[in-house]
């Protein structure tokens, strides 16, 4: 079972892959110790750490392309006959993930330097970002599922910390708790799955799990059970139905965090988990069906909710859920490469869209309602153009990144799935194009509807105002914050119109825009499906489905139809904006209220839990605590009563002693008889 301490297949850059997560860890530690002193300079340390990680990731990827999987493990502990190991591994999949994570994290660090510059806790922010990058990279490099689980929990913690970064806003604190608790449901499933797996296979290592599945060491029901439990973990982390409700609320965190954690990396960890456990899923058709349908339903439902939302970040959040559903759908229909390919392209264009949204929010002084935007095209050149590129990419327009990956997912559902799944995927693709361009047109075209940005009486949804309201309501909660200006506000901007942000914010947009354009080519058919060859080499994940040419045309046609409809409604006004909502107000309301899922959860889970907790609390207070209090008060009362007789009088003591002695002697006589 134990396979040696070192499994070396050529030592080179890959041997130093362990350094990739170590750099962000070091920046985290530096900022933890010296963050307060360094103040604004913390950003440079964070950026430097991630830049080193990114460079090393590139070197590792380059070496991995020509080489083989590199594994380095040390024995951690022995459980009975089984050895649990710790180490790192460079496979094709995680070499790709390393690039995605370090690159997105790097650009988010650069973006945050400008975005968070006014926040007094910027050093804490960058420290958390470092910790998150470390955890995410550790998750990716893990050679066994136990190590993955440890980092899996760490990224969950970082998500909690960063969503609740502005903890003085009650919504942010609530959202952080919600995100943590709901993903916890999935984590419990994952943990049970791990334990079952170790119990049956005797190892956590991916390689040995694959072998065990291939050798039929596991019974079919057991494989299905384990696969579904592991999938439950992915459902929680990747915000799939029915555990998706935390992700829209997680938008209360700073926008760079939404881009990094809740769009590109952490939420993709669920997809990655299915990816590394893929042989297990392939062995159970039941599990695959569940995965496919969960993904499809999530994709569709989330897209419908994105249609009617007006908060720029929430639209993107629903879009993320929907796109993650696409990935899961692809994996559930045997499209291993399609799902992971979409993971990568989505990471780039969704990070781009989120950072673009962050740039917009920054420029319009922290408003998020798209009804208060509009007309930003001329005012924010770089943001507008890059946002358009991102929107085209996610809509799946040829030849941008989203086109290639979405087309493969459609192919996968058509060939390995059933007609129903294909239909859902197609409808979702249409909706995706529509809601993205509804967002784009409302934000960037037409007239600016935000009014005077410096007018304090302007009554719009305004984070700044919301924050000030909570701040005045909670004076004394954190007295130190009263004097400090902790929230990014931009009163020094002289114009009362939105304008383009500084280069540090637009540069990341440009980098990601370039990637959103070209990233798709690495798996383009006319270039020979390079990514597929790379990812599937030496892995038994089945043959990858490829669509015919008509499918490509169909997917572009669907996207164009969605864009045209948005254009007709929100630019030209051929169709009134409330055309659909007035025709079917109940459906509109259903979408707007997220299918009442939050209310259902509140009524079914949260309230009863609270009631039961209150009841138990009462029981604890009266019965359990009551008994303890009773014993305590009895002791102290009897002590007081007896104490009164300790009067310090020698002769009283003497008298009591004499009586006591007489009683003892009397008892002895009574029991034993006179003189024995």
Binding letters toward another protein, positions 587-616, x by CB under 8 A? ------------------------------
Q: How far apart are CA 641 and CA 647, in angstroms?
A: 12
Q: Note whether 644 binds another protein by CB under 8 A.
A: yes
Contact positions with another protein (CB under 8 A) in 118-177: none
658 belongs to the binding site for another protein (CB under 8 A): yes
Q: Which stretch binds another protein (CB under 8 A): 188-196, 407-415, 504-512, 643-651?
A: 643-651
Nearer to another protein, 631 or 655 (CB): 655
Does position 651 interact with another protein (CB under 8 A)? The reply is yes
For another protein, give the closer residue by CB, 419 or 648: 648
H or E element, residue 414? helix 401-416
**C-alpha distances out from residue 603 to 248, 593, 596, 600, 608, Å:** 19, 15, 10, 5, 7
Which one, 629 or 657, has the nearer CB to another protein?
Answer: 657
Q: Could you say whether residue 650 binds another protein (CB under 8 A)?
A: yes
Place of tokens 């370039």: 514
CA angle 58, 354, 240 (to 5 degrees): 90
Nearest partner of 256 among 465, 155, 140, 110, judged by Cα:
110
Closer to another protein at the Cβ: 623 or 658? 658
Question: Using the rule CB under 8 A, is 654 a contact of another protein?
Answer: yes
Fill in the DSSP letter of residue 495.
S
In order, the DSSP letters of 214-242 are HTT-S-HHHHHHHHHHHHHHHHHHTT-TT
CB 512 within 8 A of CB 107: yes
Q: Where does this chain touch another protein (CB under 8 A) — which range of 285-293, 443-451, 614-622, 650-658?
A: 650-658
296 exposure class (CB count in 10 Å sphere: 0-12, 13-18, 19+):
buried
Q: How buried is residue 471: exposed, middle or buried, by Cβ count under 10 Å (0-12/13-18/19+)?
A: middle
Based on CB atoms, which residue is closest to another protein, 583 or 645? 645
Q: Coil, strand or helix: which one is 375?
A: coil
Least separation in angstroms between residue 631's CB and another protein is: 22
457 interacts with another protein by CB under 8 A: no
**Cis ω before 242 (30° cut-off from 0):** yes
The residues, ordered by sequence, that sit 6+ positions from 494 with a Cβ below 8 Å of its Cβ are none
Q: Does residue 641 touch another protein according to CB under 8 A?
A: no
CA torsion angle 504 506 511 514 (round to 10): -170
For another protein, the closer of residues 399 and 661 by Cβ is 661
Q: Cα(407)–Cα(596) distance, rounded to whole angstroms?
A: 32
Chain-centroid distance of CA 19 in Å reads: 24
Compute how many residues bind another protein; rule: CB under 8 A. 12
Among 538, 643, 673, 676, binds another protein (CB under 8 A): 643
**CB 626 → another protein: shortest distance, Å?**
29
Nearest residue to 104 via CA among 266, 331, 236, 314 = 266
- Minimum distance, C-beta of residue 656 to another protein, in the bound complex (Å): 10
Question: Which one, 654 or 666, has the nearer CB to another protein?
Answer: 654
Q: Residue 645 Cβ, how far from another protein at the closest point, in Å?
A: 8
Q: Of 21-29, 470-478, 619-627, 640-648, which segment contacts another protein by CB under 8 A?
A: 640-648
Q: Which stretch binds another protein (CB under 8 A): 274-282, 419-427, 481-489, 642-650?
A: 642-650
Whose Cβ is closer to another protein: residue 81's or residue 647's? 647
Q: Does 4 bind another protein (CB under 8 A)?
A: no
Task: State the nearest-atom distance from the C-beta of 657 to another protein, in Å.
Answer: 10
Nearer to another protein, 574 or 659 (CB): 659
Q: Where are the alpha helices (DSSP H) in 419-490?
A: 419-444, 463-473
Spell out the residues 6+ positions from residue 219 whose beta carbon is closer than 8 angstroms to its own: none
Does 648 contact another protein by CB under 8 A?
Answer: yes
Among 476, 646, 671, 674, the residue binding another protein under the rule CB under 8 A is 646
- Stretch near another protein under the rule CB under 8 A, chosen from 29-37, 240-248, 357-365, 638-646: 638-646
Nearest CA to 512 among 321, 314, 350, 361? 350
How far apart CA 368 and CA 130 sit, in angstroms, is 27
Binding part of the chain for another protein, among 162-170, 298-306, 526-534, 641-649 by CB under 8 A, reads 641-649
Q: Which stretch binds another protein (CB under 8 A): 84-92, 598-606, 609-617, 651-659?
A: 651-659
Closer by beta carbon to another protein, 586 or else 651: 651
Query: What does the DSSP assignment read for 559-628?
Result: HHHHHHHHHIIIII-SS-TTHHHHH-HHHHHHHHTGGGHHHHHIIIIIHHHHHHHHHHHHHIIIIIHHHH
Nearer to another protein, 528 or 639 (CB): 639
Segment interacting with another protein, rule: CB under 8 A, options 190-198, 223-231, 267-275, 647-655 = 647-655
CB of 652 to another protein, least distance (A): 9
Which range in 167-175, 253-261, 405-413, 653-661 contacts another protein by CB under 8 A?
A: 653-661
Instruction: Rule CB under 8 A: say whether 480 interacts with another protein.
Output: no
Nearer to another protein, 593 or 635 (CB): 635
User: Which residue's entry shows tokens 């006591």?
Assistant: 660
CB of 170 or CB of 666, closer to another protein: 666
**With 0-12 CB in 10 A as exposed, 13-18 as middle and 19+ as buried, what is 78?**
exposed
Q: Which of 382, 665, 640 is nearest to 511 (CA)?
A: 382
Nearer to another protein, 596 or 669 (CB): 669
For another protein, the binding residue among 655, 662, 665, 668 (CB under 8 A) is: 655
Binding status of residue 647 toward another protein by CB under 8 A? yes
Residue 472 lies near another protein (rule: CB under 8 A): no
How many Cα atoms are found within 13 Å in the side-chain-facing hemisphere of 258? 33
Q: Which residue has the tokens 């594994």?
A: 71
Contact present, 43 and 126 (Cβ < 8 Å): yes
The residue ranges that bind another protein (CB under 8 A) are 643-651, 654-655, 658
């Amino acid at each position: 079972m134990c396979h040696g301490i070192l499994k070396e297949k050529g030592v080179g850059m890959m041997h130093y892959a362990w350094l990739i997560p170590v750099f962000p860890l070091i920046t985290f530690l530096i900022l933890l110790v010296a963050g307060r002193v360094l103040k604004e300079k913390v950003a440079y340390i964070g950026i430097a750490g991630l830049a080193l990680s990114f460079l090393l990731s590139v070197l590792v990827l380059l070496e991995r392309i020509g080489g083989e999987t590199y594994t380095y493990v040390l024995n951690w502990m022995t459980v009975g006959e089984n050895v649990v190991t710790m180490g790192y591994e460079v496979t094709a999949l995680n070499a790709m993930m390393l690039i995605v994570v370090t690159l997105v994290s790097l650009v988010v660090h650069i973006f945050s330097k400008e975005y968070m510059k006014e926040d007094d806790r910027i050093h804490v922010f960058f420290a958390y970002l470092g910790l998150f990058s470390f955890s995410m990279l550790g998750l990716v490099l893990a050679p066994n599922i136990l190590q993955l689980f440890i980092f899996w929990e760490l990224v969950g913690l970082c998500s909690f910390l960063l969503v609740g970064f502005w903890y003085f806003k009650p919504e942010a604190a609530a959202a952080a708790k919600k995100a943590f608790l709901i993903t916890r449901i999935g984590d419990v499933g994952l943990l049970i799955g791990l334990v079952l797996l170790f119990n049956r296979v005797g190892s956590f290592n991916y390689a040995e799990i694959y072998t065990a599945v291939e050798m039929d060491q596991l019974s079919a029901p057991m494989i299905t059970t384990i696969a579904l439990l592991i999938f439950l973990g992915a459902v929680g982390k990747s915000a799939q139905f029915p555990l998706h409700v935390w992700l829209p609320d997680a938008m209360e965190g700073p926008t760079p965090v939404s881009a990094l954690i809740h769009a590109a990396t952490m939420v993709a960890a669920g997809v990655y988990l299915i990816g590394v456990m893929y042989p297990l899923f392939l062995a159970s058709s039941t599990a695959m069906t569940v995965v496919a349908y969960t993904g499809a339903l999530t994709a569709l439902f989330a897209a419908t909710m994105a249609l009617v939302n007006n908060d720029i970040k929430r639209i993107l959040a629903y879009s993320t859920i929907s796109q993650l559903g696409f990935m899961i759908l692809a994996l559930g229909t045997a499209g291993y490469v399609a799902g992971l390919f979409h993971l990568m392209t989505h990471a780039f264009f969704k990070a781009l869209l989120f950072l673009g949204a962050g740039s917009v929010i920054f420029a319009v002084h922290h408003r998020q309602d798209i009804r208060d935007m509009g007309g930003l095209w001329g005012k924010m050149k770089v943001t507008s153009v890059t946002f358009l590129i991102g929107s085209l990419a996610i809509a799946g327009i040829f030849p941008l990144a989203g086109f290639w990956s979405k087309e493969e997912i459609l192919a996968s559902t058509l060939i390995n799935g059933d007609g129903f799944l294909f239909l859902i995927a197609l409808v979702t693709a249409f909706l995706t194009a529509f809601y993205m361009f509804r967002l784009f047109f409302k934000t960037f075209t037409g007239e600016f509807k935000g009014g005077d940005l410096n007018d304090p009486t302007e009554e719009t949804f305004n984070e700044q105002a919301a924050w000030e309201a909570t701040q005045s309501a909670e004076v004394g909660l954190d007295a130190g914050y009263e004097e400090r200006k902790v929230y990014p506000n931009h009163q020094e901007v002289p114009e009362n119109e939105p304008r383009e942000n500084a280069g540090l914010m637009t540069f990341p947009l440009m980098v990601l825009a370039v990637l959103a354009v070209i990233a798709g080519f690495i798996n383009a058919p006319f270039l020979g499906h390079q990514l597929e060859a790379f990812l599937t080499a030496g892995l038994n994940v089945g043959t990858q489905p490829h669509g015919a040419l008509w499918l490509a045309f169909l997917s572009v046609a669907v996207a164009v139809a969605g864009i045209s409809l948005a254009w007709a409604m929100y630019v030209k006004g051929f169709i009134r904006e409330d055309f659909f909502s007035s025709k079917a107000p109940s459906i509109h309301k259903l979408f707007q209220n997220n299918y009442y899922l939050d209310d259902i959860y509140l009524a079914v889970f949260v309230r009863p839990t609270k009631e039961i907790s209150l009841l138990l609390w009462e029981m604890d207070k009266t019965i359990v605590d009551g008994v303890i209090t009773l014993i305590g008060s009895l002791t102290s009362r009897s002590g007081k009563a007896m104490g009164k007789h300790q009067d310090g009088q020698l002769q009283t003591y003497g008298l009591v002693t004499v009586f006591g002695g007489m009683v003892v002697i009397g008892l002895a006589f009574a029991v034993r008889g006179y003189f024995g």
